[in-house]
Amino acid sequence: MTHDSKRQRGLDSLAAQESFDAVLANIDKIEAFDVAYGVETSSPVEPWQIQEADDITLLNNSRYSPTPVKTIRQAIAASPVRHDDIAFVDFGSGKGRVMLVASEFPFKRIIGVEYSSDLCETSRRNFERFDGLPKRSTLEVHCRDAAEFMIPDDAGFFYFYEPFTVAVARKVLRNIEFSVHRQPRKVILCLVGRGLLPAVDGKSWRPVGAPLKSPDEQYFDTQFYTNSQYSG
């Protein structure tokens, strides 16, 4: 690839990202989640803006960009689980939007996993400022590498919106499988977007129904998976 073609490829990628951000900003403007609840979850954060950024994290972690609120609500409401029986885990929890929306549902507890200390602090401030209905679950953020996070034995719903690479996702899914082996139970993977679908091992996981179409934008279509011994 020539220098000019690399440059053009970079410019095309930047233009696509700016176009995507404009679509998301318009969705957020219409939904007005941040304005309504006194929080700040909308602004993207690039990987190189993260305090802990190094060559490895820049290679393996995605930028922070929130899932639209309607997509989150629809995915959680449609999931084949009893919310009050399980803990909810959001990998790459960022500024805490998904966790705040999840708190509208009666999960046992809601856990965020985020490696950026700045984003962890932002999410905690958002939890304190949230001016909505009383949260129905406790919210806790673990500031650590997702691949090193110990999966709790009560965790049953795992939310992913393309927070990291397929390689990292495979490590996280193996950790979930070890947890299920240690404490047998049905669990649900909720994958928003298509970026991590290649990480899902067909021997260990089975899709639950057809992809759930996003009410916001096709990019945010959702696929559920469950551990194969519970797939029916």
166-221: pLDDT as tens digits: 999 999 999 999 999 999 999 999 999 999 999 998 889 999 999 999 999 899 99
Residues 206, 218 contacting (CB under 8 angstroms):
no
Q: Rounded distance, CA 26 to CA 30, Å?
A: 6
pLDDT at 231: 52
Q: Domains, the chain, ranges and CATH? A: 1-232 (3.40.50.150)
Q: How confident is the model at residue 9 (pLDDT cuts 50, 70, 90)?
A: low
pLDDT at 30: 66
Angle at 162 between CA 161 and CA 165, to 5 degrees: 155
Q: Is the pLDDT of residue 41 over 80?
A: yes
Angle at 199 between CA 13 and CA 202, to 5 degrees: 140
Q: How confident is the model at residue 11 (pLDDT cuts 50, 70, 90)?
A: very low
- Bridging pattern class, strands 87-91 and 109-114: parallel
Q: How far apart are the first and last CA of the chain?
A: 49
HSE-CB of 118 using CA atoms within 13 angstroms? 11
pLDDT at 91: 98
Q: Rounded distance, CA 153 to CA 176, Å?
A: 9
Residue among 7, 19, 119 nearest 63 (CA):
119
- Record the tokens describing residue 42, joined without a space: 């909308």
Q: Rounded distance, CA 189 to CA 15, Å?
A: 32
Q: Is the pLDDT of residue 230 over 80?
A: no
Full-model pTM: 0.88
Sheet holding 87-91, edge to edge: 138-143, 109-114, 87-91, 155-160, 188-192, 222-227, 205-212
pLDDT tens-digit readout, 45-73: 887 888 877 777 777 677 788 999 999 99
pLDDT tens-digit readout, 114-127: 999 999 999 999 99
Mean pLDDT of 94-110: 95
Q: Is the pLDDT of residue 7 over 70?
A: no
- Record the tokens describing residue 199, joined without a space: 């990480």
pLDDT tens-digit readout, 126-181: 999 998 766 778 899 999 999 999 999 999 999 999 999 999 999 999 999 999 99
Residue 223 belongs to what H/E stretch?
A: strand 222-227
pLDDT at 179: 96
- Record the tokens describing residue 177, joined without a space: 């499988």
Q: Is the pLDDT of residue 16 over 80?
A: no
Bridge partners, 88 (sequence order): 110, 157
Place of tokens 């057809």: 210
Mean pLDDT of 22-31: 72
Q: How confident is the model at residue 2 (pLDDT cuts 50, 70, 90)?
A: low
